[in-house]
Amino acid sequence: MKAAAGLLALVATLTACRASDRPIRIGSKNFSESVLLAEVAAQALEREGLKVDRRLNLGGTFICHRAVVAGELDLYPEYTGTAYTAILGRKPVSDPGLVRSEVAREYEKRWGLVWSPPLGFENTFALIMRAEDARRLGVRKISDLAAHAESLRPGFGYEFVEREDGLKGLMRAYGLRFGRQPAEMDLGLLYPALSSGKVDLIAGNSTDGLIDAVGGVVLEDDRRYFPPYEAAFVVSGKRWRQPPGVRRALERLGGHMSAEAMRRWNRQIDRDKRSPQEVAREILAGL
């Protein structure tokens, strides 16, 4: 019996070693900030001497979530508000601590996933207009849109149209009735469409680097409809524990990224056409 128990322990140890020797599979969604954050994590892990398998630009929230639950990814960047509403199906609330603790608890209980410490910034949905149009119409807040919604041409990403914390809930919360069906398009087309005058209103993200570049203005969410979206990494529980360099690297990133800095880094990628790899190296050099 002792020999059998010893053999089982040896097999378990060898299996764990083989698992920890595999490259850390890092994914991202299909927009610049997500790719950049994944690249920052990848380079941080490589500095710990770990092998990394980059699987970037995978798609939207649900694709990345399914991949990490299925064990096809070991980690990817996510936002607490997205997890709270889109994945857990909760109604939007405005308390960051409540949202963070709830997603951490539920992800651990349901899927054995861990949330890394918040990176230091939120990236919430944001309604954006051309600044000149907003001034002409006297629109500063989302609630101001109700008087002009009939004449505006809105354009939104597919995920914003479908999510509970997106268009449907927003229209209910603010009583918006658009005179025409919103145009649905890829995220990368939203800012060119706004800049060229094809649409008058888009739903972007508060840390988008192109807001200033296209002369846009973010409308105040005066009824606090959108929940807090703190950026962090969702990590396989096994990878969080082994090898130790994963947890050490991700904890070191916690609290070091501001929304202002994130907008600047995103602008360098989206407007200035710098590579995420180059920007990520500079980010890590400054931490």
pLDDT digits (tens, 9 = 90+) for 187-198: 889 999 999 999
pLDDT cut 70: percent of the chain above it: 93
Chain position carrying tokens 């020797």: 21
- pLDDT reading at 1 higher than 60: no
Q: 228: helix, coil or strand? A: coil
Determine the structural domain holding residue 34 and report its residue range: 23-122+228-286
What is the per-residue pLDDT across 93-120, written as a single tens digit (0 to 9) for each? 889 999 999 999 999 999 999 999 999 9
End residue of a domain, out of 218, 250, 274: 218
- Looking at the structure, tell me whether residues 115 and 234 fall in a common domain: yes
How many domains are there within the chain? Answer: 2
Predicted model pTM: 0.80
Could you tell me if residue 7 is inside a domain? no
- Looking at the structure, tell me whether residues 153 and 212 fall in a common domain: yes
Say how many CA atoms lie within 13 Å of 229 toward its Cβ.
20
How far lies 236's CA from each of 72, 120, 145, 192, 219, in Å? 10, 21, 42, 37, 37
CA–CA dist 185, 52 (Å, integer): 32
CA–CA dist 190, 208 (Å, integer): 11
CA–CA dist 78, 62 (Å, integer): 11
We report the CATH number of the domain holding residue 46 as 3.40.190.10
Given this model, what pLDDT does residue 20 score?
57
What is the per-residue pLDDT across 153-177, written as a single tens digit (0 to 9) for each? 999 998 899 887 789 999 999 999 9
What is the per-residue pLDDT across 195-242, written as a single tens digit (0 to 9) for each? 999 999 999 989 999 998 899 999 999 998 988 999 999 999 999 999
Average pLDDT over residues 58-85: 96
Average pLDDT over residues 251-274: 94
* Mean pLDDT (the chain, rounded): 91
- pLDDT reading at 74 higher than 50: yes
- Looking at the structure, tell me whether residues 115 and 56 fall in a common domain: yes
- Looking at the structure, tell me whether residues 129 and 214 fall in a common domain: yes
Structure tokens at 188: 């990368």
CA–CA dist 67, 177 (Å, integer): 37
